[in-house]
């Protein structure tokens, strides 16, 4: 009997082990420690106050994953590990990895119940009800971890989003829910004639101001505190929403799009950065998996371009275009007549 190749199934059986190995190494700060120079397992275990034999296993597994190099028992970072897994790296993805390790990892353990009931699992997982973002920002440490997680992903995607369309006709761009301001900073660095405003909750603004101060375009950038659902929006002829709409259900999206449309001048635009599902819903896989993640922790989901187009047209927008960037996020541009 010729049986199908089980390799893909076996790979998925093991996939969580690879993720958790990386999560644990980042959580221990191993990549930051090795940025100082190569070390043996004993030296690392002594610094971390961990079991030597267990630390040896973790390091060897990371080397097997090509996150570390192992040269006769002396461990060092690979270029990828040093760039993306070191918490102190400017290009670090460690924030999102820590958020995945501390929150998403546990929520995904309740996926069956989420599918059965069609509702988020935050209260089931952590025992506390309430809006999800209240938990993300409940302490300065949690807020910075989550915000820096979004920043790390943003650094790799924002350049592709702001160049998906020619934005030279716009004068002032306000990024609503800007977090560290990576999208608006990238836009202003890409378009010399553009001014930018990072708009987010008051507690996030100091983090955005850190990154604005470090940007070559800082003279054209500013930060403003507010709630995009309730407060007056900054005056701008281009608004941006980066990974915002997928957090919410249709009612909240309609409210936000209506507020943006009313605030825009004639001819103004709205730039959206989200994962776009293909129209036949055959992919991409990353968007489907992200949609499951949104089921677990928010009231939102991922959508296709036609689904976003329907919501935008209902709010009054015209000339709606979408671009698949081939990167972590895609782009949509809509205009006010």
Cα distances from 78 to residues 48, 86, 91, 323, in angstroms, run 20, 11, 15, 33
For residue 284, whether the previous peptide bond is cis, meaning omega lies within 30 degrees of 0, is yes
320's enclosing H/E stretch is: strand 317-323
**Residue whose entry in the numeric block shows the structure tokens 């991922």:** 302
Strands 303-304, 276-277: pairing is: parallel
Strands 172-176, 195-200: pairing is: parallel
Contacts of 54 (CB under 8 A, 6+ apart): none
SS (H, E, C) 267-281: CCEEEEEECEECCCC
Across 201-286, the runs of DSSP E, i.e. the strands, are 221-225, 238-242, 269-274, 276-277
Active site residue 246: yes
38's enclosing H/E stretch is: none
Decide: helix, strand or coil at residue 127: coil
SS (H, E, C) 174-185: EEECCCCCHHHH
Q: Among candidates 212, 202, 201, 263, which has minimal Cα distance to 238? A: 263
| Torsion-angle region of 106 (φ positive above 0: left; ψ -120 to 50: alpha; else: beta) | alpha
What is the distance between the alpha carbons of residues 115 and 113, in angstroms, rounded to a whole number? 5
What helix, strand, coil percent values describe the chain, rounded to 5?
50, 15, 30
The values of phi and psi at residue 179, to 5°, are 55, -120
Q: Which of 135, 151, 160, 246 is catalytic?
A: 246
Q: Which residues are catalytic?
A: 246
């Amino acid at each position: 009997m010729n049986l199908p190749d089980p390799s893909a199934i076996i790979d998925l059986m093991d996939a969580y082990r690879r993720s958790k190995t990386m999560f644990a190494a980042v959580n221990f700060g191993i990549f930051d420690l090795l940025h100082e120079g190569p070390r043996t397992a004993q030296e690392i275990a002594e610094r971390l106050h961990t079991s030597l034999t267990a630390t040896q296993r973790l390091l060897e597994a990371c080397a097997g994953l090509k996150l570390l190099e192992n040269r006769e028992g002396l461990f060092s970072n690979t270029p990828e590990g040093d760039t993306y897994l070191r918490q102190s790296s400017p290009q670090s993805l460690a924030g999102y990895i820590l958020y995945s390790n501390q929150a998403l990892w546990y929520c995904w353990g309740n996926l069956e119940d989420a599918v059965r009931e069609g509702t988020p699992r935050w209260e089931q997982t952590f025992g506390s009800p309430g809006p999800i973002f209240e938990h993300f920002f409940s302490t300065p440490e949690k807020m910075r971890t989550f915000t820096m997680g979004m920043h790390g992903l943003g650094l790799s995607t924002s350049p592709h989003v702001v160049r998906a369309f020619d934005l030279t006709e716009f004068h002032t761009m306000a990024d609503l829910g800007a977090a560290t301001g990576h999208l608006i900073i990238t836009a202003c660095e890409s378009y010399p004639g553009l001014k930018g405003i990072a708009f987010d909750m008051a507690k996030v603004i100091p983090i955005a101001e850190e990154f604005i101060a470090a940007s070559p375009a800082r003279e054209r950038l500013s930060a403003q505190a507010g709630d995009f659902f309730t407060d007056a929006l900054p005056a701008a002829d281009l608004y941006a929403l980066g990974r915002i709409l997928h957090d919410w259900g249709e009612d909240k999206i309609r409210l936000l799009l209506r507020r943006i449309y009313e605030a825009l001048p004639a001819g103004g635009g709205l730039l959206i950065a989200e994962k776009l599902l293909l129209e036949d819903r055959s992919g991409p896989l990353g968007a489907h998996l992200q949609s499951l993640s949104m089921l677990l922790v928010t009231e939102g989901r991922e959508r296709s371009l036609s689904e976003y187009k329907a919501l935008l047209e209902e709010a009054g927008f015209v000339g709606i275009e979408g671009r698949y960037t081939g990167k972590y996020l895609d782009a949509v541009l809509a205009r006010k007549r």
